Amino acid sequence: MTIQSRALGRAPAPFAPRHAADAWFFPAMTALVWLGVIAGFGGEMWRLSKAGQLSYPLIVHVHAAVFTGWLVLFTAQVALVRRGQVALHRRLGMIGMGVAAVMTALGPLTAFYMQAHALGTPKSDPPFLAVPLSDILSFAGLILAGYRFRSDPAAHKRLMLLATIAVADAGFGRWTLALFGDWVMRTLGAGFVGSLAVGNSLSIPALLAVPIHDLVTRGRVRPVVAIATAWAVGWQVLATALYLQPGWVALTKHFVTWLATL
């Protein structure tokens, strides 16, 4: 209870678990994630195909299949809640935890393999490991929080949505890089601000849309949602800062060089 509430002699209004706008907000955000992933990775595949360079190692195909499986499962979960099929939603949720665990391990392994495989080529960019590693740490933390709050549907679905947006960062980043990356770098430079704008100008607003939705529809944001959003945004900002740090650049170059010898 706030000081103002005590002074007025009433408790603050409880957070409404449902609002009419939720019926379109969560499906719309799910569709946005799909759009970002398809536009980002699909666009990259199209460009590589035109250049005759569309070739990925097996681990990338496995990673793509598992990640797509997560998106399909998340979309199904949103639809099940919308239709009131909560029992099936809960059963599928346990499968989702298993898929999330696989993603948490497979994401870094894929990133390590690709950087070691690209060493000595124009595609080599060891400092970029900051991005997939921060994304998966953000995702894992949000998934664990979502599991912790599984008995609180309003918090749970927001945490799971934030986790899905966070792990889709790579797709959003590829999309924005292709759309206006060169222009942003010319305008803002290749430093922190320019790099953050290129890599996260869609993913960060998508994350912020979750608490903004609650602020507009309920007049307030629950602390767990505010903390979770700050967690997700913070990891993306940290990844950009790390990418530009000389110490991180040197460390990742040594690490990838060592990986390539294995």
Kindly state whether residue 7 falls inside one of the protein's structural domains.
no
Does the residue 46 lie in any domain?
yes
* Position 3 in a domain: no
* Rg, the chain, Cα only: 20
The pLDDT tens digits for 170-217 are 999 988 988 888 999 999 998 999 999 999 999 999 999 999 999 999
**Tens digit of each residue's pLDDT (9 = 90 or more) over 65-124:** 999 999 999 999 999 998 989 999 999 999 999 999 999 999 999 999 999 999 999 889
- What rounded mean pLDDT belongs to the chain? 92
Q: Which domain holds residue 122?
A: 20-260
- Does any domain span residue 15? no
Distance CA 169, CA 203 (A): 6
Predicted pLDDT of residue 8: 52
What is the number of structural domains in the chain?
1
| CA 106/CA 100 separation, integer angstroms | 10
Q: 8-36 pLDDT, tens per residue?
A: 555 566 788 889 999 999 999 999 999 99
